[in-house]
């Protein structure tokens, strides 16, 4: 049946591509044609009846009017081709200082790109051709051919859809969670099983005009119900309604995608439901249609030009009415402007790239020569005309060339004092040789060449400055963000040929604040490296309260004066380039802050996160509705009680301002006792990872909202992070903005903070107070989902003595627990906070009922241990004597007694009887550990356990044998199993218990075995315990152990704690020796090779320190690696075990590597270690952070 549905189409209702529309009071027929949006010839089997219908109608309608496409895309917040103006997920901090003021000085390959650059959007808008198939394609795609035919026939052009409307539907289709139609899924699988290409089937259906099959195949190919609903059905409704509106007054020829026509929700059926009569038109083919098509293709509409000026006022040029050029995403430091003449298939483009000749010392003539040298290899086809020109003193070239396919391209190249511009016309055939197109090139004007200085202020505000009149301002497209500066202002003074730069970058770090001193120094260093100049002078200063630095850079006879200024998240570089520039030049003396400029503020609603706020930019959709993920992002309904976290950043790219929005939904049972405790915890979470201080705390309320404001700051920077936490029920939003201590919040951030309001649908209980009532209510609900959630969440509930009987009742009566013992264990553990007088006897009875159920019994012991009263400890001993729960996991037993380690005096009632349980392997380690800890703390004396000495000595001797019979390995810790680790730890405790009896011959024999052992790791673990307790240890053993790189550090630490470093030779206590020990503490084997390279002194914070570099090679490997530890204090006699960098393999030293260069690179990496925004010079570290 499926095969018949796909291949047979038993009920063929929709056959044919051209349909006549009559009836419903139409005076003359209209026509509907199903298109393919391609230039392949399969779409161009155009009949005589097709052209007849096109001729007869007054209006030609397409899905959208092509003449408005580019403007719609570039102006729409729904545009997926460019980054949204209001949203991004975060910033890449790493390498910020390298990118912040990166001067993209063009190499020849980038200049060559200017010659062959083709805007990426041109082909998709005008041609949709591919090089591989161009001999089998038409000059354009069918939809645009219909539009061009309509324009050349002087028809009115109409759109059936609005761009933003379609993009919103596309997002809904993409984010739709509707289940895929199972029949469609089976059909798609059937096609694959039949080894048939569905796209080939689709083309064959189009050749035959079989709309029924096109409908089935389209839905199979796209599959998801959301696509069919939003991208076909809903659009069909919109298009049919607009067709109806037009046809009531004028005859209409409509060309839309063929998949929109058939089916019950198709446009044909929708029009029939409106009362129209729709019938297929039988196609008739003759040479007349071919001739008419060829005539239309050759028809050219001479453009009528009007002047258009770039947003920086630098360039004015003619473009056809009523068009406008748009700056489009380009990348790589290019600025690309485009206007597509859709009627004639001609692309008008302008590409601009700054050349920074003043920095490199290259004149305009030298740059002209470079461009000339690149033309032969990088101009498409054959150059027909190459002419040197001069436009108002600006040199350039006029070029005309013809591609191998016969297309004419015309270009004008101009080299100004600041940038290279390429004006280009391209199209199909030789139409561009018409004289009308000379008007484009003849009308190009360059402005800004007056002599008087002027005050410059960016359109978005931010600052003002006095500059020479020739100024260009580049606001890099959002697609370039993260790889280059955000704003670049260049100015040229014709009087003395000096050049001025203002570069602006922004980094909105909401998690931490870096030192002003480090940032300024790093930015200057990176800028100097980028332009290949030497820093000859530098001075950190305060500029009107802002962190700043002045510097002089030199190269040959050229000078750059630089001023760096930090203003919150905004970083500015001001530079004057020339032979006579000084810090008295107007760029430095006139620079001042201005308020940002905004569009109109409107109340915006974010349905994904659930809030409204005033903003001058649109809030894009995140996908779905907030209810989709605030409660149930995983699709698992049993998880809607858990906490949720989401975050995003709203950015106004025009002004480089960002606000972080964090959303947190608290766990269903989360609560704090008081608001102070609640807000203190919030502050702790904000600052625990960044060491920031907090000031300006303020608690307030607005309607039902709880609000808490604070400022985070660092003593090393003028930056601040202002936060506002807004709580509504169980939902919290945290707003954060980076600012400067000297300025207040901008209007953008102020209005957002003050008007931010969570949605009314967000609610729930406030996370302060008692949640136990809700907990018991869910347990008693009888609803399995709620019971399961409650039992999984016991640890989130703050229980008290008042909840004792409620918990005991649930343990006894809740039937769900019979098949879910883990839930029962959770409730038992919760009794730890109950009323001891009721809990202890209850647990004793419960223990005895739980015969042979070790997990329940161990949970009871753990709860009694957690109660931490003498009577509870006594109860534990009584229960153990009644029945000792045994477990396959030693960890389970040790966990049960862990609470007693925090209060050893409560472990005392267990002894000495508890030592009887050492006959069980599960209890041996915990029994000896607790006793050894009580001995160390002075709670018990040796006499307390003297009667058990024989057993303790025996266990110690056995464990020692067990460990020494295993093969001795260098660096065995790296390979040690958990059971071996447990044995070594227990042996330390046993040794501690034997120390008071060192006069006993058996104990002395045990100590001698340790002294004689060849297992240096074993000795390193046990001897410090003997030394700490005044047991005589042969002096020679310490130096023997310290010879091992992997043991030197623990031995050094143990001896230092006892103030006995004198037992080690100085060769083992030097910085160099400890550096080596730190590096190879775990990863060195006997067969590995290690060589010392050198030590270096480097700056570290406000001081200097010494770094030690080694090189190592693992056995069997060819390459050596450089290893580093430091910086250590400059005083070599002072050894610090807390150094910031300890790393093996920071660099690989391959064949041909120069070690001195690699060491210098490593020193830079050490210097910037833990600076999350910085990377080393070459950026090729083997070590990543």
Assess if residue 1041 is contained within a domain: no
Report pLDDT digits (tens) over 198-217.
Answer: 778 888 898 899 999 988 88
Cβ partners under 8 Å of residue 813, min gap 6? none
What band does 1104 get if pLDDT is binned at 50, 70 and 90?
confident
* Domain match, 60 and 136 both: yes
Picking from 544, 567, 596, the residue at the C-terminal end of a domain is 596
Residue 275 domain flag? yes
Token pair, residue 1165, equals 């990496």
Between 411-415, 875-879, 1009-1013, 1165-1169, the lowest mean confidence (pLDDT) is in 1165-1169
Distances (CA, A) of 1144 to 187, 523, 531, 627, 1113: 57, 29, 33, 48, 11
- What residues make up the domain containing 673? 602-758
Same domain for 133 and 55: yes
Kindly report which listed range (62-66, 178-182, 262-266) carries the lowest average pLDDT score.
178-182
Q: Each residue of 831-858: pLDDT tens digit?
A: 999 999 999 999 999 999 998 799 999 9
- The reply to whether omega before 912 is within 30° of 0 (cis) is yes
> What pLDDT does residue 329 have?
78
Longest Cα separation, the chain = 123
Whether 1100 has a pLDDT exceeding 80, the answer reads no
pLDDT of residue 1086: 67
Both 631 and 720 in one domain: the answer is yes
Q: Binning pLDDT at 50, 70 and 90, where does residue 1182 land? A: very low
Length of the chain: 1185
Q: What is the mean pLDDT of residues 52-70?
A: 95
d(CA 583, CA 560): 10
pLDDT at 973 over 90: no
Is pLDDT of 865 > 70? yes
The sign of the torsion formed by the CA atoms of 280, 283, 289, 290 equals positive
pLDDT band at 964 (very low <50, low <70, confident <90, very high): confident
- pLDDT (0 to 100) of residue 480: 42
Q: Tell me the pLDDT tens digit for each residue of 351-367.
A: 999 999 999 999 999 99
Query: Taking each helix axis from N to C terminus, what angle separates 890-901 and 854-867, rounded to the nearest 10 degrees?
Result: 10
Model confidence at 484, pLDDT cuts 50, 70, 90, reads very low
Write the pLDDT tens digit of every residue in 383-420.
Answer: 999 999 999 899 999 999 999 989 999 999 999 999 99
pLDDT at 1023: 93
90 has a pLDDT exceeding 50: no
> Which residue would you say has higher pLDDT here, 256 or 13?
256
- Say if residue 592 is in the same domain as residue 633: no
Q: Which of 758, 780, 802 is the last residue of a domain?
A: 758
**What is the mean predicted confidence (pLDDT) over 460-483?**
77
- Confirm whether 864 is domain-assigned: no
Handedness of CA 237, 242, 246, 251 (dihedral sign): negative
Same domain, 520 and 638: no
pLDDT at residue 888, rounded to an integer: 82
The answer, yes or no, to whether the previous bond of 1127 is cis (omega within 30 of 0) is yes
How confident is the model at residue 156, as a pLDDT? 97
The average pLDDT across 418-446 equals 96
- The percentage of the chain sitting over the pLDDT mark of 70, rounded to a whole number, equals 89
Alpha helices per DSSP H over 553-655: 586-589, 626-629
User: 638 with 731, same domain?
Assistant: yes
d(CA 463, CA 655): 11
Q: How far apart are CA 1166 and CA 504, in angstroms?
A: 28
Q: Above 50 in pLDDT, residue 1179?
A: no
Q: What is the CATH number of the domain that holds 401?
A: 3.40.1000.10
- Same-domain check for residues 588 and 649: no
Within a domain: 935: no
In-domain check, residue 700: yes
pLDDT digit string, tens, across residues 1138-1160: 888 888 877 788 765 667 888 88
Confidence class of residue 87 from pLDDT cuts 50, 70 and 90?
very low
**What burial letters (b/e) apply to 862-895, b meaning 16+ CB within 10 Å?**
bbbbbbbeeebbebbeebbeeebbebeebebbbb
Between 861 and 470, where is the model more confident? 861
Question: Are 624 and 690 in a shared domain?
Answer: yes
Residues 6 or more apart in contact with residue 2 via CB below 8 angstroms: 183, 186, 187, 190
Element (H, E) at 470: strand 470-475
Write down the pLDDT at residue 190: 58
**CA distance linking residue 926 with residue 665, whole number of Å:** 40
- pLDDT for res 806: 97
C-alpha–C-alpha distance, residues 174 and 164, integer Å: 15
pLDDT score of 267 = 97
Residues 6+ apart with CB under 8 A from 968: 1014, 1015
Number of domains forming the structure of the chain: 5
Query: Residue 586 and residue 597: Cα distance in Å, rounded?
Result: 24
- Pair 619, 684 in one domain: yes
Share of residues in the chain with pLDDT > 90 (%): 69
Question: Same structural domain for residues 592 and 640?
Answer: no
- pLDDT (0 to 100) of residue 800: 95
Yes or no: say if 212 and 13 are a contact pair by the CB < 8 Å rule. Answer: yes
Is there a domain that residue 266 lies in? Answer: yes
Q: 140 pLDDT exceeds 70? A: yes
Mean of pLDDT values over 378-387: 96
State residue 461's pLDDT score: 95
Residue 404 lies in a domain: yes
Residue 479 has pLDDT above 50, yes or no: no
80 pLDDT higher than 80: no
Type and span of the H or E element at 595: strand 592-596
Q: With a cut of 80, say whether residue 629 has pLDDT above it.
A: no
In this prediction, residue 132 carries a pLDDT of 66
Do residues 616 and 744 both lie within one domain?
Answer: yes
> Is there a single domain that holds both residue 458 and residue 442?
no
User: Cα separation of 276 and 543, whole Å?
Assistant: 75
Predicted confidence (pLDDT) per residue in 793-827, tens digit: 999 999 999 999 999 999 999 999 999 999 999 99
> Average pLDDT of 1101-1114?
87
- Any idea which residue has 């600006």 for tokens? 394
Q: What is the pLDDT of residue 483?
A: 40
Cα–Cα–Cα angle for 999, 1003, 1007, rounded to 5 degrees: 105
89 three-class SS:
coil
Asked if the structure places residue 1038 within a domain, the reply is no
Average of per-residue pLDDT across 337-360:
96
Mean pLDDT of 255-266: 94
Which pLDDT tens digit goes with each residue over 1016-1027? 999 999 999 999
- Nearest to residue 349, comparing CAs of 297, 393, 401, 409? 409
Q: What integer pLDDT is reported at residue 482 of this predicted model?
A: 41
Of 561, 596, 631, the position where a domain reaches its end is: 596
Classify residue 595 by burial, with Cβ atoms within 10 Å: 0-12, 13-18, 19+. exposed
Look up the CATH number of the domain holding residue 721: 3.40.1000
Mean pLDDT taken over the chain: 88
Residue 818 DSSP class = G
Asked whether the predicted pLDDT for residue 1037 surpasses 90, the reply is yes
Cβ neighbors of 194 (< 8 A, separation 6 or more) are: 3
pLDDT at residue 39, as a whole number: 82
CA–CA separation, 167 and 173 (whole Å): 10
Contact of 239 with 256, CB cutoff 8 Å = yes
pLDDT band at 1163 (very low <50, low <70, confident <90, very high): confident
């Amino acid at each position: 049946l499926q095969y018949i549905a796909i291949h047979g189409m038993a009920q063929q209702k929709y056959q044919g591509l051209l349909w006549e529309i009559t009836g419903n009071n139409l005076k003359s027929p209209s026509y509907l044609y199903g298109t393919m949006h391609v230039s392949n010839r399969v779409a161009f089997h155009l009949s005589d009846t097709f052209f007849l219908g096109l001729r007869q109608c007054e209006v030609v309608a397409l899905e959208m009017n092509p003449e408005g496409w580019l403007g719609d895309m570039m102006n729409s917040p729904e545009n997926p081709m460019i980054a949204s103006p209001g949203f991004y997920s975060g910033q890449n901090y790493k390498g910020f200082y390298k990118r912040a003021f990166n001067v993209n000085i063009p190499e020849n390959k980038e200049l060559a790109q200017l010659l062959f650059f083709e805007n990426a959007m041109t082909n998709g808008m005008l041609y949709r051709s591919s090089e591989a198939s161009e001999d089998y394609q038409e000059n354009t795609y069918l939809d645009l051919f219909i539009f061009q035919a309509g324009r050349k026939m002087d028809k009115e052009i109409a759109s059936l859809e609005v761009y933003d409307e379609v993009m919103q539907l596309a997002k809904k289709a993409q984010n739709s969670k509707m289940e895929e139609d199972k029949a469609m899924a089976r059909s798609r699988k059937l096609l694959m099983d039949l080894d048939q290409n569905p796209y080939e089937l689709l083309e064959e259906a189009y050749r035959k005009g079989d709309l029924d099959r096109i409908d089935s195949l389209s839905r199979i190919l796209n599959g998801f119900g959301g696509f069919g609903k939003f991208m076909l059905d809903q659009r069909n409704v919109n298009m049919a309604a607009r067709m109806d509106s037009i046809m009531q007054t004028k005859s209409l020829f409509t060309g839309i995608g063929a998949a929109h026509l058939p089916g019950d929700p198709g446009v044909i059926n929708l029009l029939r439901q409106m009362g129209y009569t729709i019938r297929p038109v039988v196609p008739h083919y003759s040479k007349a249609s071919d001739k008419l098509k060829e005539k239309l293709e050759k028809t050219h509409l001479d453009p009528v030009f009007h002047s258009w000026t770039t947003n920086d006022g630098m360039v004015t040029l003619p473009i056809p009415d009523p068009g406008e050029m748009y700056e489009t995403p380009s990348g790589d430091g290019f600025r690309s402007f485009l206007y597509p003449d859709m009627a004639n298939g001609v692309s008008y483009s302008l590409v601009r790239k700054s050349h920074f000749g003043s920095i490199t010392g290259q004149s305009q003539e030298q740059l002209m020569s470079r461009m000339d040298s690149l033309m032969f290899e990088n101009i498409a086809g054959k150059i027909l005309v190459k002419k040197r020109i001069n436009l108002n003193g600006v040199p350039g070239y006029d070029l005309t060339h013809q591609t191998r396919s016969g297309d004419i391209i015309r270009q004008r190249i101009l080299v100004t004092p600041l940038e290279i511009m390429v004006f280009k016309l391209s199209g199909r055939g030789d139409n561009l040789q018409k004289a009308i197109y000379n008007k484009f090139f003849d009308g190009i004007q360059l402005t800004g060449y007056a002599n008087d200085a002027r005050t410059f202020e960016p359109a978005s505000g931010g600052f003002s400055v006095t500059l020479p009149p020739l100024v260009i301002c580049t606001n890099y497209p959002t697609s370039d963000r993260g790889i280059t500066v955000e704003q670049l202002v260049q100015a040229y003074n014709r009087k003395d040929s000096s050049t001025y730069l203002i570069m602006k970058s922004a980094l909105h770090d909401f998690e931490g604040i870096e030192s002003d001193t480090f940032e300024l120094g790093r930015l200057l260093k990176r800028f100097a490296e980028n332009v290949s100049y030497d820093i000859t002078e530098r001075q950190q200063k305060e500029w009107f309260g802002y962190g700043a630095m002045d510097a002089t850079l030199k190269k040959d006879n050229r000078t750059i004066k630089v001023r760096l200024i930090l203003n919150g998240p905004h970083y500015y570089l001001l530079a004057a380039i020339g032979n006579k520039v000084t810090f008295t030049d107007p760029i430095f003396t006139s620079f001042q802050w201005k308020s940002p400029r905004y569009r109109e503020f409107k109340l915006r609603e974010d349905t994904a996160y659930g809030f409204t706020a005033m903003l001058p930019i649109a809030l894009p959709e995140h996908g779905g509705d907030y209810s989709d993920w605030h409660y149930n992002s995983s699709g698992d309904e049993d998880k809607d009680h858990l906490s949720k976290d989401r975050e995003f950043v709203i950015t106004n790219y025009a002004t480089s301002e960002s606000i972080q929005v964090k959303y947190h939904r608290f766990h269903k049972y989360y609560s704090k006792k008081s608001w102070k405790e609640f807000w203190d915890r919030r502050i702790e979470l904000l600052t625990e990872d960044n060491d920031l201080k907090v000031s300006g705390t303020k608690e307030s309320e607005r309607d039902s909202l709880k609000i808490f404001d604070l400022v985070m700051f660092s003593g090393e920077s003028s930056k601040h992070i202002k936060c506002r936490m807004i709580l509504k029920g169980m939902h919290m939003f945290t707003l954060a903005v980076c600012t400067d201590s000297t300025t207040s919040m901008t209007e953008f951030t102020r209005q957002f903070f003050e008007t931010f309001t969570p949605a009314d649908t967000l609610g729930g209980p406030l996370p302060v107070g008692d949640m136990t009532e809700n907990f018991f209510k869910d347990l008693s609900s009888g609803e399995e989902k709620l019971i399961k959630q409650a039992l999984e969440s016991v640890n989130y509930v703050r229980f008290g003595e008042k909840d004792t009987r409620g918990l005991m009742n649930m343990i006894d009566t809740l039937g769900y627990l019979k098949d879910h013992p883990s839930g029962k264990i959770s409730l038992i553990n919760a009794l730890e906070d109950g009323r001891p007088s009721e809990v202890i006897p209850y647990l004793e009875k419960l223990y005895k009922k739980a015969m042979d159920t070790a997990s329940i019994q161990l949970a009871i012991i753990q709860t009694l241990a957690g109660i931490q009263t003498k009577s509870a400890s006594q109860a534990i001993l009584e229960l153990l004597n009644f029945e000792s729960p045994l477990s396959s996991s030693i960890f389970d037993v040790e966990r049960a007694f862990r609470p007693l380690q925090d209060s050893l005096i409560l472990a005392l009632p267990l002894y000495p009887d508890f030592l009887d349980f050492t006959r069980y392997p599960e209890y041996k380690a915990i029994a000896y550990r607790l006793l050894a800890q009580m001995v160390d703390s002075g709670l018990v004396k040796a006499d307390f356990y003297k009667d058990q000495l024989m057993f303790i000595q025996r266990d110690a001797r056995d464990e020692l044998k067990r460990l020494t019979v295993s093969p001795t390995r260098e660096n065995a810790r790296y390979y040690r199993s958990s059971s071996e680790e447990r044995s070594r730890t227990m042996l330390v405790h046993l040794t501690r218990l034997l120390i008071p009896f060192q006069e006993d011959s058996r104990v002395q024999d045990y100590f001698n075995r340790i002294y004689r052992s060849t297992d240096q790791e074993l000795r390193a673990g046990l001897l410090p315990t003997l030394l700490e307790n005044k047991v005589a240890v042969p002096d020679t053993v310490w130096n023997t152990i310290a010879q091992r790189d992997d043991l030197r550090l623990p031995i050094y630490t143990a001896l230092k704690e006892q103030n006995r470093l004198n037992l080690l030779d100085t060769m083992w206590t030097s910085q160099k020796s400890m550096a080596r020990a730190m590096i190879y503490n775990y990863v060195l084997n006997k067969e590995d090779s290690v060589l010392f390279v050198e030590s270096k002194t480097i700056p570290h914070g406000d001081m200097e320190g010494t770094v030690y570099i080694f090189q190592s090679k693992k056995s069997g490997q060819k390459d050596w690696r450089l290893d580093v530890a430091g910086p250590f204090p400059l005083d070599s006699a002072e050894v610090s075990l807390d150094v910031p960098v300890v790393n093996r393999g920071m660099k690989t030293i391959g064949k041909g590597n120069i070690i001195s260069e690699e060491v210098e690179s490593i020193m830079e990496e050490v210097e910037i270690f833990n600076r999350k925004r910085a990377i080393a010079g070459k950026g090729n570290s083997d070590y990543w952070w």
